[in-house]
Amino acid sequence: MRYGDKVAVDGLSLTVERATITAVLGPNGAGKTTTLETCEGYRRPHRGAVRVLGLDPVRDRRDLLPRIGVMLQGGGAWSGVRAMEMLDHVARLHAHPLDTGMLSERLGLGECGRTPYRRLSGGQQQRLGLAMALVGRPEIAFVDEPTAGMDPQARRTTWELLDELRRDGVTVVLTTHYLDEAEQLADQVHIIDRGRLIASGTPEELTRGSSATVRLVVDQELPVDAESALRSSVARWSTEHGVGVRSISFGSRTLEDVFLELTGRGLGHE
């Protein structure tokens, strides 16, 4: 997938199982949205093939679209339209939509139903976007950063909802740069960076890894020079015993550690 000369997503290959949650994890600009939009048929891959439900998203777009739900990263509604009016409109384009009253209630949009879109908060716009993606009862929901800009409570509600979707047999593909979101929610995590897939697996597989981890817990605050002192001791020990040290981390190992190891960069706030 290219934009001009710039290769945005390159040789990315991944498969998604039905009724699972797949997280595409990566920093800003990694190619998450491009990957999703290629699955949604917005973009034609420069090389390679994409199949969604066995269909070519570009060639078979008309057959595919009724079967998928799409949540864009932002926007997607008229500025003067009321929240419920917009949701009802999208529902009317489908044959067997969900009850929009119940859906909006579930997403906590009950009290802002008559509010014009431009006056909704960022989090409310996100939740309306999610509702629009789900109202048509899709087989696959592609959700681009579903909880960006949400307060912790709304995030929790959204996570519960996505979990419920999986239980009811909906396949969810989401992008995120929140590590805890991927860790808590996803069956499969694909980490991409600079348009390349750099690691795939369940959160457990990714955090476990094949090598042994030694954890050192100390009983006080470390002095400022402790890190360099420890590193040089470890390096000495490593040469003496012929054991390669892949990484030394200070703090507890999380998915973020894995990510840092793999990309050498933090997420979102570089």
Partner 1 sequence: MSELDFTPRPGGATLRRQVLAQARMEARLMLRNGEQLLLAVVVPVLVLIGGVTAGEHLALDLETSRPLVDIFTPGVLALAVMSTSFTSLAIATGFERRYGVIKRLGSSPLPRSGLLAGKVGALLMVQLLQVIVIGAVGQLLGWTPEPGVLGVALAILLGTAAFASLGLFVAGVLRAEATLAVANLVYLLLMAGGGVVLPLSAYGAFGDVVRWLPSGALGEAMRTAFLDGGVAWRDLGVLIIWAVLGTALTARTFKWE
* 150-209 residues near partner 1, rule: CB under 8 A: 164-165, 168-170
Q: Is 66 a residue that touches partner 1 (CB under 8 A)?
A: yes
Task: Using DSSP, state whether 226 is helix, strand or coil.
Answer: helix
Which part of the chain contacts partner 1 (CB under 8 A), choosing from 128-136, 147-155, 207-215, 249-257?
Answer: 128-136
31/208 Cα distance (integer angstroms): 26
Considering only 1, 72, 130, 267, the residue that binds partner 1 (CB under 8 A) is: 72
Q: Is 146 a residue that touches partner 1 (CB under 8 A)?
A: no
Which part of the chain contacts partner 1 (CB under 8 A), choosing from 8-16, 79-87, 150-158, 218-226?
Answer: 79-87
Q: Is 136 a residue that touches partner 1 (CB under 8 A)?
A: yes
Reading the block at residue 22, the tokens are: 């797949």
Reading the block at residue 195, the tokens are: 């348009």
Which helix (H) or strand (E) segment holds residue 159: the answer is: helix 152-167
- Residue 226: count of CB within 10 angstroms of its CB: 12
Q: Is 8 exposed, middle or buried (0-12, 13-18, 19+ CB in 10 A)?
A: buried
49/28 Cα distance (integer angstroms): 24
Binding mask 85-124 for partner 1 (x = CB under 8 A): x---xx-xxxxx-xx--xx-xx------------------
Please tell me the count of residues contacting partner 1 according to CB under 8 A: 43
**Sign of the CA dihedral running 160, 166, 170, 174:** positive
Q: Which is nearer to partner 1, 62 or 246 (CB)?
A: 62
Residue 116 bridge partners (DSSP): 82
Reading the block at residue 171, the tokens are: 């396949």
Considering only 8, 52, 77, 191, the residue that binds partner 1 (CB under 8 A) is: 77
Q: Which residues contribute to the site for partner 1 (CB under 8 A)?
A: 40-42, 62, 65-68, 70, 72, 74-81, 85, 89-90, 92-96, 98-99, 102-103, 105-106, 132, 134, 136-139, 164-165, 168-170
